[in-house]
Amino acid sequence: MSNIREIAKKAGVGIATVSRYLNETGYVSDEVKVKIQKVIEELNYKPNALARAIFTKNSKTIGLMVPNISNPFFNQMASIIEEYASNMGYNILLCNTDDNEEKEKKYLDVLQSHRVAGIIVSRSQCGEEYKNIEIPIVSFENHISDKIITISSDNYQGGRIAFEHLYEKGCRKILHVRGPQTFEATELRFKGFVDGAKEKNLEIDYIEFESDFQVKMLKENIESIKNIRDYDGIFVFNDIAAATVMKFLKKRGVKIPEEIQIIGFDNSFICELVHPSLTTISQPIQNLGKTTIEFLIGLIHGEEIPIKDYLMETKLIKRETTYS
């Protein structure tokens, strides 16, 4: 494989000039740039990214940890982040943690050893591990520490909106399918929903899902509900789980929305793929993704961004699983 010495020799310039050109660390005239670039292409030279990262202190690579790549919400979020990062000259190293603490810790080590310039972590299941990390970090949803920016939707408000909608549409026997208790976002949705119900002196039943990443697991959970026809409204903690609940209801011959109205959370593309189309609470995914990556790149470039929790508004998207 060709190296920097050969490039310098073939281009008739010094090694230091080639290094300045490759690492963008100093002046190189336009004429010399063209010469060097021509030789690079002739030799099909590929710079050693890791060596360059150590030298320039910016690998131009960002670690993106997602909890569940098969959830439509997170694959949509990952592609928004990837597109923005790429436009800013950054590459993404994607890690799927499966909401597993050990996997997250392992990826944290891997990302650091690859000298990433910064890390975005979604729904983190760790805390301590982030304390001594010096590279910029932005957290999506779970709050890790007061030294790390957290970005999320206003999940509490979303839970309240979901309750108000079901109540307004006449539901009085309501079931909530709650997310795992380690998901801060879905716990807030649950709290907002229950607080709304309390104001109307209504009791809410709930069952808890253990995860959102295996449809099979969700299915087993929902199939354990025997008395589903006792309910006239269901709020499910996210859209992928809501689609699973809908499948189960239909299998039991329940008419949606005539017998049971149902509402999800996210506004991911599956809302339009299921039948009837799913009413949901939208997370402003475009804005969440863009702000997360913008903040991270800002921190990498040394910008002063206030370290706090940033909340983004949610809103009701009415479709066919609730009355219009």
- The alpha-helical segments, DSSP class H, found in the chain are 4-11, 15-23, 30-43, 49-56, 72-87, 101-113, 155-168, 184-199, 215-223, 239-251, 270-273, 285-300
Kindly state the greatest CA–CA separation across the chain.
83
Quote the least distance from Cβ 187 to ligand XLF, whole Å.
Answer: 10
Q: List the one residue from 17, 61, 71, 139 that touches ligand XLF (CB under 6 A).
A: 71
> Which of 324, 321, 298 lies closest to 120, judged by CA?
298
Quote the least distance from Cβ 59 to ligand XLF, whole Å.
Answer: 28
Residue environment code for 123-143, b if the CB has 16+ CB neighbours within 10 A, otherwise e: bbbeeeebeeeebbbbbbbbe
Measured from the CB atom, is 20 or 158 closer to ligand XLF? 158
Q: Which residues pair with 233 in a beta bridge?
A: 174, 261
Query: Segment 172-191, which members bind ligand XLF (CB under 6 A)?
Result: 179, 183, 185-186
* Cβ(187)–Cβ(208) below 8 Å: no
Quote the least distance from Cβ 185 to ligand XLF, whole Å.
Answer: 4
Q: List the one residue from 82, 104, 141, 154 that touches ligand XLF (CB under 6 A).
A: 141
Measured from the CB atom, is 23 or 70 closer to ligand XLF? 70
Cis peptide before 284 (omega within 30 of 0): no
Quote the least distance from Cβ 69 to ligand XLF, whole Å.
Answer: 12
Q: Should residue 123 be labelled a site residue for ligand XLF when binding is judged by CB under 6 A?
A: yes
Q: List the one residue from 82, 154, 187, 212 that touches ligand XLF (CB under 6 A).
A: 212
Q: Which residues pair with 263 in a beta bridge?
A: 235, 279
Query: Segment 264-303, which members bind ligand XLF (CB under 6 A)?
Result: 265-266
Quote the least distance from Cβ 123 to ligand XLF, whole Å.
Answer: 5
> What are the φ/ψ torsions at residue 63 (nearest 5 degrees)?
-90, 130
Measured from the CB atom, is 36 or 285 closer to ligand XLF? 285
Quote the least distance from Cβ 212 to ligand XLF, whole Å.
Answer: 5
Quote the least distance from Cβ 238 to ligand XLF, whole Å.
Answer: 4
Q: Should residue 232 be labelled a site residue for ligand XLF when binding is judged by CB under 6 A?
A: no
Quote the least distance from Cβ 239 to ligand XLF, whole Å.
Answer: 6
Quote the least distance from Cβ 142 to ligand XLF, whole Å.
Answer: 8
Q: Should residue 58 be labelled a site residue for ligand XLF when binding is judged by CB under 6 A?
A: no
**Count of CB atoms situated within 10 Å of the CB of 184:** 17
Measured from the CB atom, is 82 or 212 closer to ligand XLF? 212
Measured from the CB atom, is 21 or 159 closer to ligand XLF? 159
Measured from the CB atom, is 238 or 322 closer to ligand XLF? 238
Instruction: Give CA torsion, residues 138, 143, 144, 147, to 10 deg.
Output: 60
Tokens read off for 26: 């100093």
Measured from the CB atom, is 123 or 319 closer to ligand XLF? 123
Distance CA 222, CA 236 (A): 11
Tokens read off for 29: 């005239």
DSSP-assigned letters across all residues of 104-167: HHHHHHHHHHTT-SEEEEES---SGGGTT--S-EEEESS---TTSEEEEE-HHHHHHHHHHHHH
Residues that bind ligand XLF (CB under 6 A): 71, 73, 123, 141, 179, 183, 185-186, 212, 238, 240, 265-266
